[in-house]
Chain A
């Protein structure tokens, strides 16, 4: 009963979409002759906040009826909506145009029935799943959505290898039976209590195909599906041939779409997705109120935008501003096929040599939550892992020269809070509030303990305080990192500084995004500053995240982990973890045992220091309230604000015109 696997999901970061050149954008000061002129206007910001009549948009639609969304990247191909083919992702399209059976809201963990009218029904041994569909849903061309479409979608995908979900369906589905217009029964090749997750959107899930359109396609793999017949509340209207913007119009019959039914709100008449280029241009656009919501900014760009424009806000109104609840974590991965990183004590020593408070404040601006677990401390998970397991953390001990040392440091959030107060931000002192903002705790900053751990394993310090490996050679470590993933890269620089002070000769290799990925896939690194988490969906059951780390998917050095479909770049093999995963495989996610087994896995993971998680994700998801309000914020966090997720369609739908 193999289940859909979505282990450590790299998550959709800004870099996935923003081309290197674009991120540069490039702004520069001329030679000396012009410097005088520029420094004259250095004080006041050159681009003042203009009134509501903002810069004109590239399309002539009424500004007050149009929601302008940051398109995140420029489409190189504009007339192709075949979102099943292996191509660059198009995040701002699937929320508006596509639909699937269920959604789990990443902020609240709430289960949302979309095309399905209620939860999936499994038989006793999880070899059959029955889906009953919602009635009254229609395609954009008026044809009603029915069981035929669902059955046709799965059968077409099974018959066309190379499309997303096609090989998953081939591996799982034995047969599909349409019982009536609203019911479909899937019979599975082997028991799989999590088969429904293929249709349950965290970032996205299986898009439904319109049978009456796709059946005419010669080859579904190259069918452009343009202009798309869609299930979303919006229909495709117009596109810039150079891929800089796309225009969508709300369907008149928006009540016949699940977005309308769930959100119970018409939403904007038009949605315009627009590509402005790098942070620099987005800031200018939002200052001119020509952009209503954007995906992310680096800290400096956000501060500049926030200071100059009153109508702009991210998740929190005040420090630390950014949206902290994406299901992802930054972590240092040690290549456990290379000495000395295969030694658990060494990994623990490296952890104790770090001062996470300094990393989180000086390098990340104090804006993210710390987490000792490979699971982010988000609202839907903090109650299931961080709080219940805190007592276990306090008891956790590692053997240092015969005596048991307790590495856990519970007042990390307090120290970050005091740093924040010192830097002039108002932060409350209540421990629950601090846990919300900065996570529960991390490992103590104990270089002396780290030194003992290393000497216990035969490491020596040479005359000038530099560490030598047990075989006498100086310890030289290289960290690989991708500069366009800002938080991970700044953590790498911070770790380099701290480990250098500790006595290790550390160099950071800053790699272009694809070569960085490739070096991880083939295990060509000592340490990697990367990201991922065991909980891709906001449910307590971690099977999706844990399964790819099972040793049966282990990829030896040199062979790409992608060939195995695993994210185990660190290449560890843990028999105890395998046993827990095997037990979890047969357990239904709703069963309480699933949570208990997942907690066991997290304990093993943490104790064996398989990875060194540091902070969870944060994004300056920023909105401008000049034209539209109603975005989810920290004070009314009833749904996720991630508009580029498929589930973000509800946030877009619930937006209302500003007074």
Chain B
């Protein structure tokens, strides 16, 4: 009986994307908050193109000015305009985190599904290797490698490094997901009815995996942002490239707090908190909408209030 009540997803898909967004905006405050915050972040990122100063140039503006009309976020002790630096910082942090998630998750999905579908000794052997990678503490390894490569750690290299250390755990999750899908009755019936295995995977399993990958990518993104900021604050990344973490590093380096230049610290910290919270609010409310099960529960809850 329940299926009849809930608007079938097929019907949902036909609705134009715009309509979906307006629904979400009207009905899920989390989505609105998230969307607004992300729009600000995107605006910041795009503004970096208009920056009159090159981010690596120093002493282009008078140093240590408090926020004013001329410099909305104030200036740093290195004589840089904090507003334009922040546009590059937000953009670079997003690039690192985005790349890291793509690298990490693609390895995880490929490996996870490969293990899930092949099974047998190959699966057991590779799985125990994956397990041992899970067992190795990731952060110290990351710090060690970053400390070694530090001077030469460009943005893509940093993303690759973070990505390469964040595939073990997700691959195990994907393998488990694939295993359950393989056991599902509809897979057997599809296989019996002569569907070639590849089409079974593409047409039957992928729609199941996509929301799962989306949700998992969120955690991946949060991990990557966290790692970039942690490594940079510890001074283990290329300090010349402005990112959220390196801006905080320089603020600490020039004792922004002690000498009363608070704006230099507030800007990167507030930016990283707002960006991450915005992203998380948006993505969770979106994935709730896409996943039929959670939508049903949401409807039930909504109707009750």
Direct contact of A and B (CB under 8 A): yes
**Contact in complex: A27, B239 (CB < 8 Å):** no
Give chain B residues whose Cβ lies under 8 Å from the Cβ of A298: 254-255
Q: Which of A45, A511, A512 has the most CB of B within 10 A?
A: A512
Interface segment among B101-109, B110-118, B262-270: the answer is B262-270
Interface segment among A34-42, A77-85, A456-464, A466-474: the answer is A34-42
Given B150, B239, B252, which contacts A24 in the complex, CB threshold below 8 Å? Answer: B252
Give chain B residues whose Cβ lies under 8 Å from the Cβ of A514: 147
Given B152, B236, B259, B265, which contacts A304 in the complex, CB threshold below 8 Å? Answer: B259
- Give bound CA distance, A280 to B150, whole Å: 25
B173 close to chain A: CB less than 8 A: no
Q: Considering the complex of A and B, which 9 residue pairs feature the smallest CB-CB distances, nearest first?
A: A509-B151, A300-B255, A29-B266, A31-B273, A29-B265, A300-B259, A27-B257, A512-B147, A304-B258
Give chain A residues whose Cβ lies under 8 Å from the Cβ of B46: none
**Contact in complex: B270, A31 (CB < 8 Å):** yes
**Contact in complex: B58, A497 (CB < 8 Å):** yes
**Contact in complex: B234, A21 (CB < 8 Å):** yes
Give chain B residues whose Cβ lies under 8 Å from the Cβ of A507: 240
Give chain A residues whose Cβ lies under 8 Å from the Cβ of B274: 31-32
Known interface pairs A300-B259, A303-B259, A512-B147; 20 further A-B residue pairs with C-beta atoms within 8 A, sorted by A's residue number: A24-B252, A27-B257, A28-B265, A28-B269, A29-B257, A29-B262, A32-B270, A35-B262, A39-B262, A42-B260, A42-B262, A279-B258, A298-B255, A300-B77, A483-B253, A509-B150, A511-B150, A512-B150, A512-B235, A515-B150
**Contact in complex: A511, B234 (CB < 8 Å):** no
Given A301, A480, A483, which contacts B258 in the complex, CB threshold below 8 Å? Answer: A301
**Contact in complex: B151, A511 (CB < 8 Å):** yes
Give chain A residues whose Cβ lies under 8 Å from the Cβ of B253: 483
- Give bound CA distance, A20 to B230, whole Å: 13
**Contact in complex: B235, A497 (CB < 8 Å):** no
- Give bound CA distance, A38 to B151, whole Å: 35
**Contact in complex: B234, A20 (CB < 8 Å):** yes
B248 close to chain A: CB less than 8 A: yes
What residues make up the interface of B, taking CB atoms closer than 8 Å to A? 58-59, 77-78, 147-148, 150-152, 233-236, 238-240, 248, 252-255, 257-260, 262, 265-266, 269-270, 273-274
Give chain A residues whose Cβ lies under 8 Å from the Cβ of B265: 27-29
A205 close to chain B: CB less than 8 A: no
Give chain B residues whose Cβ lies under 8 Å from the Cβ of A564: none
Given A24, A39, A280, which contacts B257 in the complex, CB threshold below 8 Å? Answer: A280
- Give bound CA distance, A25 to B233, whole Å: 10
- 27 sampled A-B residue pairs with Cβ under 8 A: A20-B234, A24-B233, A26-B233, A26-B252, A29-B257, A29-B262, A30-B273, A31-B269, A31-B270, A31-B274, A32-B270, A32-B274, A35-B266, A35-B270, A39-B262, A280-B258, A298-B254, A300-B77, A300-B255, A304-B258, A483-B239, A483-B253, A497-B58, A510-B151, A510-B238, A512-B235, A515-B150
Give chain A residues whose Cβ lies under 8 Å from the Cβ of B257: 27, 29, 280
A362 close to chain B: CB less than 8 A: yes
A154 close to chain B: CB less than 8 A: no
A597 close to chain B: CB less than 8 A: no
- Give bound CA distance, A42 to B151, whole Å: 35
A400 close to chain B: CB less than 8 A: no
Give chain B residues whose Cβ lies under 8 Å from the Cβ of A362: 59
- Give bound CA distance, A510 to B58, whole Å: 16
Give chain A residues whose Cβ lies under 8 Å from the Cβ of B150: 509-512, 515
Give chain B residues whose Cβ lies under 8 Å from the Cβ of A21: 234
**Contact in complex: B258, A508 (CB < 8 Å):** no
- Give bound CA distance, A509 to B239, whole Å: 8
CB proximity of B77 to chain A, nearest CB, Å = 7
Q: Which of A20, A28, A362, A483 has the most CB of B within 10 A?
A: A28
